[in-house]
Protein backbone atom coordinates (compact mmCIF):
# COMPACT_ATOMS: atom_id res chain seq x y z
CA UNK A 1 0.00 0.00 0.00
CA UNK A 2 1.19 3.43 -0.86
CA UNK A 3 0.38 5.02 2.50
CA UNK A 4 0.50 2.06 4.90
CA UNK A 5 4.25 1.63 4.91
CA UNK A 6 7.04 3.94 5.80
CA UNK A 7 10.74 4.60 5.92
CA UNK A 8 13.15 6.77 7.82
CA UNK A 9 12.40 9.77 5.60
CA UNK A 10 9.69 10.79 3.15
CA UNK A 11 12.19 10.70 0.27
CA UNK A 12 13.21 7.13 1.09
CA UNK A 13 9.55 6.09 1.29
CA UNK A 14 8.67 7.64 -2.06
CA UNK A 15 11.68 6.18 -3.86
CA UNK A 16 10.95 2.74 -2.34
CA UNK A 17 7.40 2.85 -3.75
CA UNK A 18 8.75 3.94 -7.14
CA UNK A 19 11.30 1.12 -7.01
CA UNK A 20 8.50 -1.38 -6.32
CA UNK A 21 6.72 -0.17 -9.45
CA UNK A 22 9.96 -0.45 -11.41
CA UNK A 23 10.85 -3.99 -10.33
CA UNK A 24 7.70 -5.97 -9.52
CA UNK A 25 6.05 -8.10 -12.18
CA UNK A 26 2.36 -7.45 -11.73
CA UNK A 27 0.71 -5.75 -8.82
CA UNK A 28 -1.08 -2.73 -7.56
CA UNK A 29 -0.21 0.34 -5.55
CA UNK A 30 -3.20 1.53 -3.56
CA UNK A 31 -3.93 3.90 -0.68
CA UNK A 32 -5.42 2.45 2.50
CA UNK A 33 -8.74 4.27 2.02
CA UNK A 34 -9.05 2.89 -1.51
CA UNK A 35 -8.31 -0.63 -0.23
CA UNK A 36 -11.19 -0.32 2.23
CA UNK A 37 -13.44 0.70 -0.68
CA UNK A 38 -12.27 -2.31 -2.71
CA UNK A 39 -12.86 -4.71 0.17
CA UNK A 40 -16.36 -3.24 0.63
CA UNK A 41 -17.12 -3.87 -3.06
CA UNK A 42 -17.17 -0.16 -3.85
CA UNK A 43 -15.40 1.69 -6.63
CA UNK A 44 -11.75 2.35 -5.88
CA UNK A 45 -8.72 3.86 -7.51
CA UNK A 46 -5.37 2.07 -7.73
CA UNK A 47 -2.34 2.05 -9.95
CA UNK A 48 -2.00 -1.42 -11.53
CA UNK A 49 0.81 -2.90 -13.55
CA UNK A 50 1.35 -6.20 -15.33
CA UNK A 51 5.09 -5.93 -15.83
CA UNK A 52 7.88 -3.78 -14.43
CA UNK A 53 7.75 -0.19 -15.59
CA UNK A 54 10.55 2.24 -16.08
CA UNK A 55 9.98 5.26 -13.86
CA UNK A 56 13.38 6.88 -14.18
CA UNK A 57 13.30 9.37 -11.35
CA UNK A 58 15.59 12.16 -10.30
CA UNK A 59 15.49 14.16 -7.11
CA UNK A 60 13.36 16.84 -8.74
CA UNK A 61 10.85 14.35 -10.21
CA UNK A 62 10.26 12.02 -7.22
CA UNK A 63 7.22 13.88 -5.88
CA UNK A 64 5.39 14.12 -9.22
CA UNK A 65 6.04 10.48 -10.14
CA UNK A 66 4.99 9.31 -6.68
CA UNK A 67 1.73 11.25 -6.90
CA UNK A 68 1.04 9.79 -10.34
CA UNK A 69 0.83 6.27 -8.89
How do the domains of the chain map onto residue ranges?
10-68
Can you name the residues that pair with 48 across neighbouring β-strands?
28
Helix (H) or strand (E) holding 27: strand 27-29
CA angle 16/20/24 to nearest 5° reads 165
Q: What is the rounded distance in angstroms from the CA atom of residue 11 to the CA atom of residue 34?
A: 23
DSSP 3-state of 56: coil
Alpha-carbon distance 65 to 69, whole Å? 7
Whole-model pTM: value is 0.59
Query: How does pLDDT run across 1-53, given as a tens digit for each residue?
Result: 677 777 889 889 899 888 887 887 778 888 899 999 999 999 999 988 777 77
Amino acid sequence: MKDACGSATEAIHKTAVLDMANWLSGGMIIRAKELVNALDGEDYRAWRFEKPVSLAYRTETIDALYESL
